[in-house]
């Protein structure tokens, strides 16, 4: 299997074996980091919209392996303000770098960027569409915590309609015979297209509005934010938001081995009183972004096979 | 002129597209860009058809549509037949089939898709031929036949 010069645009582009190879490489790098692995390699970090965590995580991943970083975090400060197109911007960046990491709020922009240039492109988020490195670090976290990705009971809680991290993780976990529980208000249920896909693949799933009805079955609970701006009526928002806040009450309704993940940032959907329990792994999850992104960079840049 | 029937004249060489629904005949002309063509094109609509009641028909003189080109019209004209005519005889006849990839025919319904933002040619992967569910190559949004809008 060779990842050299491959783009990482969508989790759909990766086979089960490719996903496992990335996670395996991340483990090796985490256990045995080599600060010179990416020496003489240059990453262009093109952030067309602000994203502190993803950008810093990529830049840190590159620098800690000896690589260098150029780019921008604020499109206002670039020629984009003068009307330069996405296409021209990535063509320019191609001349200065070995790999491009791109975040752009327009959906499909990363795929278009990858078609524009010969250097490999990593999608660091294109609007509501894809954020594959987030999905890979979610998987890495589950694998580290549970020791396997196979045959787990995974619950998804919150806004399952708009949450791109949920959609990508559902697609990725469908390789691993996961039993999925979608817990959300009806207004924010997971789109039918994803359920159709699961049916086709023979993956078991359940839809539920009440977390406590299914929480005892779960090995993993993936919590997402319910965003106020998704609701046209603020009263509707208030009606839902309280229902999907988890706190210590949850502890009476779960298996002792349950692990709680969250892509962060959270607002108030997980009470801080859960933070110091063994169930909370969301801060480790954010930290896992480093070895996972290092693995992806090292594989694509051909420094690890 | 009374009593005379005008038919679309036969072609010596070229392509006949038959059994197109009358609702879609002009769209088929668009998709094949026949308005920009230098070939002799004759078109009929509301022609009598035993099978369809009324039908549309297009004859393109001097041009042989490839299977791939013909399949591009399958999204809107599912039952259409294509005949390749050589020396007034039918050399090959086939039904159009929806291709695996639909290029630059259908618009993406997602207003935040890069194809709408930057005037990029669209591309869709056909996910389900029966229900005609297609997925945008760029933004990955699934679209149903009922939502489809032509470029």
What would the pLDDT profile of A61-86 be if each residue is shown by its tens digit? Answer: 999 999 999 999 987 766 666 667 89
Residue A27 lies in a domain: yes
Q: Which residue has the higher pLDDT, A242 or A98?
A: A98
Judge whether A206 counts as a catalytic residue.
no
Distance separating alpha carbons of residues B135 and B124, to the nearest angstrom: 5
Residue A98 DSSP one-character state:
S
Distance separating alpha carbons of residues A159 and A221, to the nearest angstrom: 13
A163 and A140 part of one domain? yes
Domain hosting A151: range is 133-286
Count of domains in chain A?
2
Q: Answer yes or no: are the C-beta atoms of A177 and A152 closer than 8 Å.
A: no
Q: If one looks up domain B14-95 in CATH, what number appears? A: 3.30.70.140
Judge whether A82 counts as a catalytic residue.
yes
Instruction: Write out pLDDT tens, residues A257-290.
Output: 999 999 998 888 999 999 999 999 999 999 999 9
Residue A4 lies in a domain: no
Residue A2 lies in a domain: no
Please report the pLDDT score of residue B1 as a whole number: 46
Residue A6 lies in a domain: no
A231 and A195 part of one domain? yes
Q: Answer yes or no: are the C-beta atoms of B127 and B133 closer than 8 Å.
A: yes
A108 and A240 part of one domain? no
Residue A224 lies in a domain: yes
The nearest CA of chain A is from the CA of B138 a distance in Å of: 4
A137 and A282 part of one domain? yes
Quick one: CATH architecture of B101-150? Roll (2.30)
Instruction: Write out pLDDT tens, residues A5-18.
Output: 999 999 999 999 99
A95 and A75 part of one domain? yes
A105 and A146 part of one domain? no
The Cβ-side half-sphere exposure at A134, using a 13 Å CA radius, reads: 29
Does A111 sit within 8 Å of B137, measured CB to CB? yes
Q: What is the ipTM of this complex?
A: 0.89
Distance separating alpha carbons of residues B96 and B9, to the nearest angstrom: 23
Distance separating alpha carbons of residues A150 and A167, to the nearest angstrom: 18
Q: Which residue of B has its CA nearest to A109?
A: B114
Please report the pLDDT score of residue B4 as a whole number: 54
Residue B2 above 80 pLDDT?
A: no
Domain segments of chain B: what residues?
Answer: 14-95, 101-150
- pLDDT > 90 in chain B, percent: 53
What integer is the mean pLDDT of B131-142? 92
A158 and A234 part of one domain? yes
Which residue is associated with the tokens 């490839």? Answer: B66
Give the closest residue to A20 by CA, choosing from A143, A152, A111, A178. Answer: A143
A178 and A158 part of one domain? yes
Residue B9 above 80 pLDDT?
A: no
Phi–psi pair at A216, nearest 5 degrees: -65, -20
Q: Are strands B133-136 and B142-143 parallel, antiparallel or unpaired?
A: antiparallel
Q: Which of residues 96-135 of B touch A (CB under 8 A)?
A: 108, 110, 112-115, 117-118, 120, 133
Judge whether A53 counts as a catalytic residue.
yes
Distance separating alpha carbons of residues A302 and A179, to the nearest angstrom: 36
Residue A167 lies in a domain: yes
Residue A205 lies in a domain: yes
Q: Answer yes or no: are the C-beta atoms of A200 and A190 closer than 8 Å.
A: no
Please report the pLDDT score of residue A230 as a whole number: 67
Please report the pLDDT score of residue B129 as a whole number: 85
Residue B120 DSSP one-character state:
P
Give the closest residue to A21 by CA, choosing from A302, A301, A296, A303. Answer: A296
Residue A171 lies in a domain: yes
CATH of the domain at A120: 3.40.50.1370
């Amino acid at each position: 299997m060779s990842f050299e010069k491959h783009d990482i645009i969508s989790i759909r582009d990766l086979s089960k074996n490719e996903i496992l190879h990335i996670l395996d490489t991340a483990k090796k790098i985490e256990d045995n980091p080599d600060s010179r692995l990416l020496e003489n390699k240059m990453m262009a970090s093109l952030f067309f919209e602000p994203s502190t965590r993803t950008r810093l995580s990529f830049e840190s991943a590159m620098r800690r392996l000896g690589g260098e970083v150029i780019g921008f975090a604020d499109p206002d400060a670039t020629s984009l303000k003068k009307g330069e197109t996405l296409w021209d911007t990535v063509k320019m960046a191609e001349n200065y770098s070995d790999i491009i990491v791109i975040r752009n709020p327009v959906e499909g922009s990363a795929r278009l960027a990858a078609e524009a240039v010969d250097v490999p492109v990593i999608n660091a988020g294109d609007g509501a569409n894809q954020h594959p490195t987030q999905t890979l670090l979610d998987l890495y976290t589950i694998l580290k915590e549970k020791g396997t990705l196979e045959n787990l009971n995974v619950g998804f809680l919150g806004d399952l309609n708009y949450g791109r991290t949920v959609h990508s993780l559902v697609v990725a976990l469908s390789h691993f015979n996961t039993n999925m529980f979608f817990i959300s208000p009806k207004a924010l249920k997971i789109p039918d297209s994803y359920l159709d896909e699961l049916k086709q693949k023979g993956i078991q799933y359940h839809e539920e509005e009440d977390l406590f009805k299914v929480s005892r079955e779960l090995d993993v609970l993936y919590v997402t934010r319910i965003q106020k701006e998704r609701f046209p009526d603020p009263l509707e928002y208030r009606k839902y938001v309280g229902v999907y806040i988890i706190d210590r009450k949850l502890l009476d309704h779960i298996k002792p081995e349950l692990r709680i993940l969250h892509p962060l940032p959270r607002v108030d959907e997980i009470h801080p009183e859960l933070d110091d329990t063994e169930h909370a792994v969301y801060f480790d999850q954010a930290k896992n972004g480093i070895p996972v992104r290092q693995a992806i960079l090292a594989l694509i840049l051909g420094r690890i096979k | 002129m009374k009593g005379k029937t005008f038919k679309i004249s036969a072609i010596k060489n070229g392509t006949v597209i038959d059994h197109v629904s009358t609702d879609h005949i002009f769209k088929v002309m668009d998709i094949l860009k026949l308005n920009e063509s230098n070939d002799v094109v004759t078109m009929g609509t509301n022609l009598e058809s035993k099978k369809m009641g009324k039908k549309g028909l297009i004859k393109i003189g001097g041009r042989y549509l490839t299977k791939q080109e013909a399949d591009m019209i399958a999204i809107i004209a599912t039952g259409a037949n294509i005949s390749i005519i050589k020396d007034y005889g039918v050399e090959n006849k086939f039904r159009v089939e929806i291709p695996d990839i639909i290029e630059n025919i259908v618009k993406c319904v997602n207003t935040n898709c890069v194809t709408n933002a930057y005037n990029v040619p669209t591309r869709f992967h056909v996910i389900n031929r029966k229900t005609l569910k297609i997925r945008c190559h760029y933004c990955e949004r699934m679209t149903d036949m009922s939502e489809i809008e032509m470029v």
